[in-house]
Chain A
Amino acid sequence: MSILSLRGRAFRHGVHPPEFKELTASRPIRRMPYPSEVVIPLRQHAGKPARLVVREGDRVLRGDVLGVADGFVSAPVHASASGRIVEIGLWPHPDGTMDTAVRIEVEPFSPQVPRPRLVPRWEDLGAEQIVEAVQQGGVVGLGGAAFPTHVKLAPPRDVHVETIILNGAECEPYLTTDHRIMVEYPERVQLGARIMLRTLGARRVVIGIEKNKPDAIDALERTLPADIDVSVLPLTVKYPQGAEKMLIHAVTGREVPSGKLPVSLGVMVQNVGSAASIAEIFETGLPLVERIVTVSGPGVREPSNLIVPVGTKVGDLLAACGGLTDDAEEIIFGGPMMGVAQSSLDVPIVKGTTGVVVLTAPQVNPADAYPCIRCGRCLDACPVFLNPSALAELARASRYEEMDAMHLMDCMLCGSCSYVCPSKIPLSQLFQASKSALRRRKAVPA
């Protein structure tokens, strides 16, 4: 962490945290051994949680449905390992709450073979059938937000998606999940792009990748199809380049209007891992029961990129990476800029878990906070051009309506302002709390 990362460059916005990707960037993806039990929450995506269809004592095979999609903006969840359901009840969830989860005791020495199933040729399916298949496959955004993927493949009738952007920016420090997917499975990413292009009737696909991943750029350029318009766009390395709005701006030069969805510009963004996952549905017929996770940070003995069954407890995952170092202090799901600190080693990996980062004491120890000296660094860092300095003052006074007028709701909690603040004011934490307060007030008019 050198001052060099901030010095001498005149970027309009965004920040340059140290990348730390060298820990895992060149480590091939490997499969972790099955843990003795998996705990699978019914809520692993934005929208309605899955509706439970199994009972305690049931025996399930890998790939069997545990909960079905409850409506269109919902996705099913599946058993990630064969075994017996020993408990259905509340369990620690990665977002910090307790939520309903299905605990499966994994059969030891099981070959983990899923039930035989019919895998349709995607070329023979219509758009609606593809959307249905993607939903049944339980595919959600693997970049972290976990929005059900099929919903984006079925936009309202009055809009048309011209451009599909595949997000391979991966701007969070430490994480190399998407990086390794692009390097090792470029054909799968391309197939996913092809399926989405046809489903949406879109004109082109642009794959945005930060320039710090030249091998990923190479791999995807080598596998570009000749018959459809797919291109690779190398992106400036800066955080938060992978934020949806920033990525769209980099690709199209246009700003998504405040409060609107990308589709209003004729654009849809999907994570490269989600694209590969769509391809996998039609290659193997196996629903989304595992995902690739980067386990990294100075607190992990063997940083790795692993194929992890959904529901694996983080303690088991860390054990598969040689365990923790003696000075490990904080376990984060996601990257260190936007990820969530976990309170227990029992928390399961879910579909939206991009990585597990373990930080040690020197990085974690919070520095003393000072009053705001109005240096304006946060304004220069904010990728959506807010005034965090003024917003923080309003937040402390609970003046949420005034914050609303200053576009608090456009804040995406990327943490850039907190990162640059010399007074170490917890800006994005204040904004997160203010956003929830404002949402509650809007939901219940006074």
Chain B
Amino acid sequence: MITSPLRRLVIAASPHLRGPASTPVIMWNVVGSLVPIVAAATYFFGPSALLVVFAATLGAVVTEHVFGKGTSISDGSAAITGMLLGLTLPAGMPMWMAFIGGAFGIGFGKVLFGGLGYNVFNPALFGRAFLQAAFPVAITTWPAVGGATKWWSLRGDNFALPLISAHTDAITAATPLGLMKFESKGTALFNLFVGNTGGSLGETSAVLILLCGGYLAWRQFLNWRIPLSIVATVALFATMLHVANAKYPTAPFMLFSGGLMLGAMFMATDMVTSPVTNAGKWLFGLGIGVLVVVIRVWGGLPEGVMYAILLMNALVPFINKATQPRVFGTRHAMEAAR
């Protein structure tokens, strides 16, 4: 016999080895990959961008901390929600509104459903939908890039007090999608690509979003099938329309304007609110792509990414059910229980 140096023997279920992937690591990597996008927004819109993103993130994180379960802010998902929400807002948005948006997105969009893993809708977009309903003017007041005289001057009344401050004017500019829809004017593609256009904070630099999203896809922190499916669908659908009638915008314009890139890379890919099967991910992207083009071209709004994703979020349980994998050694897909 050996004299055992064991103070105790650990008894655990197999497998006794675990892979390196970790949910907080995934989440904090997403947070990290949003930082360059926030930095670009700050470059284009000055300190107002930082203030808006900060307020939205604070609203999200505080709400998660107060109402969420246990140490749930440490998993990083609330920070993602706040930053993403901030990036969907215009630079001149009062901070208190951004804060409320973050709080609403987490509180009603996530915690109420049971917290991380149980929410049906993307909490950032849930918060933005609320803001759009509550403050339709503030959320569509788009400051022009470089519209301010100095880089550090505010692009709107960021420090307005809740409900009592009068709205102050800022130099505004229509978004490329607004120009297209309401004035039938185009925008130079290069400006769209680099981000030198009006719009909400994260709607601007397509190239940066592609780089940051590409990093996440490479690390397998987001599933590439969803953005690829969205982009391919929009490109195909837009090209078909443009070929049929030249008054419709071209595919590159559709792809690089508005919130499409940010939505496709960072919001539609939210794992909790997208399908779990690979076939479902392709379908989900297809649905978003079709809805985006339909809303932009025939809808009453210039931009449709938010509603397209929220609508498809609602269909995720059905998509999961319809795309269950075929079990090894059977001909048919398994019978889905949910």
Considering the chains assembled together, what is the distance between the CA atoms of A164 and B281 in angstroms?
40
Which residues on the B side are within 8 Å of A370 (C-beta)?
Answer: 23-24, 75, 116-117
The reply to whether B20 and A337 form a contact with Cβ atoms under 8 Å apart is no
Q: Mark A291-305, 1 if CB is under 8 A from B, else 0.
A: 000000000000000
Q: How far is the CB of A340 from chain B (nearest CB, A)?
A: 7
The reply to whether B12 and A330 form a contact with Cβ atoms under 8 Å apart is yes
The reply to whether A384 and B75 form a contact with Cβ atoms under 8 Å apart is no
Q: How far is the CB of A348 from chain B (nearest CB, A)?
A: 13
Considering the chains assembled together, what is the distance between the CA atoms of A6 and B263 in angstroms?
27
Considering the chains assembled together, what is the distance between the CA atoms of A386 and B330 in angstroms?
11
Q: How far is the CB of B67 from chain A (nearest CB, A)?
A: 16
The reply to whether B278 and A377 form a contact with Cβ atoms under 8 Å apart is no
A342: nearest chain-B partner, CB-CB: B9
Considering the chains assembled together, what is the distance between the CA atoms of A372 and B223 in angstroms?
16
Q: Mark B1-21, 1 if CB is under 8 A from A, else 0.
A: 110111011111111111111
B24: nearest chain-A partner, CB-CB: A370
Considering the chains assembled together, what is the distance between the CA atoms of A277 and B336 in angstroms?
45
Which residues on the B side are within 8 Å of A399 (C-beta)?
Answer: 337
Q: A403 on the interface (CB 8 Å rule)?
A: yes
List residues of B (315-338) whose CB comes within 8 Å of A's CBs. 320, 324-330, 334-338
By DSSP majority rule, is chain A's interface helix, strand, loop, or mixed?
Answer: loop
Considering the chains assembled together, what is the distance between the CA atoms of A345 and B1 in angstroms?
9
Q: Which residue from B220, B275, B327 sits with its C-beta under 8 Å from A410?
A: B327
A370: nearest chain-B partner, CB-CB: B23
Which residues on the A side are within 8 Å of B8 (C-beta)?
Answer: 329
List residues of A (129-158) whose CB comes within 8 Å of B's CBs. none
Q: How far is the CB of B4 from chain A (nearest CB, A)?
A: 6
Q: Mark A417-434, 1 if CB is under 8 A from B, else 0.
A: 011111110101100100
The reply to whether A345 and B2 form a contact with Cβ atoms under 8 Å apart is yes
Which residues on the A side are within 8 Å of B326 (C-beta)?
Answer: 385
A420: nearest chain-B partner, CB-CB: B19
The reply to whether B325 and A379 form a contact with Cβ atoms under 8 Å apart is yes
The reply to whether B274 and A385 form a contact with Cβ atoms under 8 Å apart is no
User: Which of A113-121, A219-227, A254-262, A280-288 interfaces with chain B?
Assistant: A254-262
Q: B276 on the interface (CB 8 Å rule)?
A: yes
Q: How far is the CB of A413 from chain B (nearest CB, A)?
A: 7
User: Which of A67-75, A210-218, A315-323 interfaces with chain B?
Assistant: A315-323
Considering the chains assembled together, what is the distance between the CA atoms of A343 and B6 in angstroms?
11
Q: B245 on the interface (CB 8 Å rule)?
A: no
The reply to whether A337 and B14 form a contact with Cβ atoms under 8 Å apart is yes
A412: nearest chain-B partner, CB-CB: B328
Q: Which residue from B10, B18, B327 sits with its C-beta under 8 Å from A424?
A: B18
The reply to whether A341 and B12 form a contact with Cβ atoms under 8 Å apart is yes
Considering the chains assembled together, what is the distance between the CA atoms of A342 and B19 in angstroms?
22
Give the residue among A17, A256, A344, A423 with the most B Cβ atoms within 10 A: A423
Q: How far is the CB of B218 from chain A (nearest CB, A)?
A: 8
The reply to whether A245 and B14 form a contact with Cβ atoms under 8 Å apart is no
Which residues on the B side are within 8 Å of A324 (C-beta)?
Answer: 2, 4-6
Give the residue among A373, A385, A399, A418 with the most B Cβ atoms within 10 A: A373
Considering the chains assembled together, what is the distance between the CA atoms of A394 and B324 in angstroms?
15
| With known contacts A337-B17, A406-B335, A385–B23 Cβ distance under 8 A | no
Q: A173 on the interface (CB 8 Å rule)?
A: yes
The reply to whether A364 and B118 form a contact with Cβ atoms under 8 Å apart is no
Q: A367 on the interface (CB 8 Å rule)?
A: yes
Considering the chains assembled together, what is the distance between the CA atoms of A315 and B5 in angstroms?
12
The reply to whether A257 and B330 form a contact with Cβ atoms under 8 Å apart is yes
Q: B191 on the interface (CB 8 Å rule)?
A: no
| With known contacts A329-B9, A330-B16, A373–B117 Cβ distance under 8 A | yes
Q: A331 on the interface (CB 8 Å rule)?
A: yes
Q: Which residue from B13, B15, B218, B219 sits with its C-beta under 8 Å from A419?
A: B15
The reply to whether A390 and B338 form a contact with Cβ atoms under 8 Å apart is yes
Q: A332 on the interface (CB 8 Å rule)?
A: yes
The reply to whether A407 and B117 form a contact with Cβ atoms under 8 Å apart is no
Considering the chains assembled together, what is the distance between the CA atoms of A334 and B15 in angstroms?
11
Which residues on the B side are within 8 Å of A22 (C-beta)?
Answer: none
The reply to whether B10 and A387 form a contact with Cβ atoms under 8 Å apart is no
Q: B277 on the interface (CB 8 Å rule)?
A: yes
List residues of A (359-387) whose CB comes within 8 Å of B's CBs. 359, 363-364, 366-367, 370-377, 379-380, 383-387
The reply to whether B329 and A255 form a contact with Cβ atoms under 8 Å apart is yes
Q: A202 on the interface (CB 8 Å rule)?
A: no
The reply to whether A367 and B22 form a contact with Cβ atoms under 8 Å apart is yes
The reply to whether A258 and B329 form a contact with Cβ atoms under 8 Å apart is yes
The reply to whether A256 and B329 form a contact with Cβ atoms under 8 Å apart is yes
Q: Which residue from A329, A377, A384, A420 sits with its C-beta under 8 Å from B6?
A: A329
User: Other CB < 8 Å A-B pairs besides A379-B276, A410-B327, A413-B14, 14 of them?
Assistant: A315-B4, A316-B2, A336-B17, A337-B14, A342-B9, A342-B11, A364-B16, A373-B271, A373-B272, A387-B334, A402-B337, A406-B324, A415-B14, A418-B15
B residues sitting closer than 8 Å to A (CB atoms) are 1-2, 4-6, 8-26, 75, 115-118, 218-220, 223, 271-272, 274-278, 281, 320, 324-330, 334-338
A selection of 12 A-B contacts at a CB cut-off of 8 Å is A2-B20, A6-B21, A315-B4, A329-B10, A344-B9, A366-B18, A379-B277, A379-B278, A379-B325, A405-B337, A406-B336, A410-B329
A residues sitting closer than 8 Å to B (CB atoms) are 1-3, 5-7, 15, 17-18, 173, 245, 255-260, 313, 315-316, 318-319, 323-326, 328-332, 336-345, 357, 359, 363-364, 366-367, 370-377, 379-380, 383-387, 389-390, 393-394, 399, 402-403, 405-407, 410, 413, 415, 418-424, 426, 428-429, 432
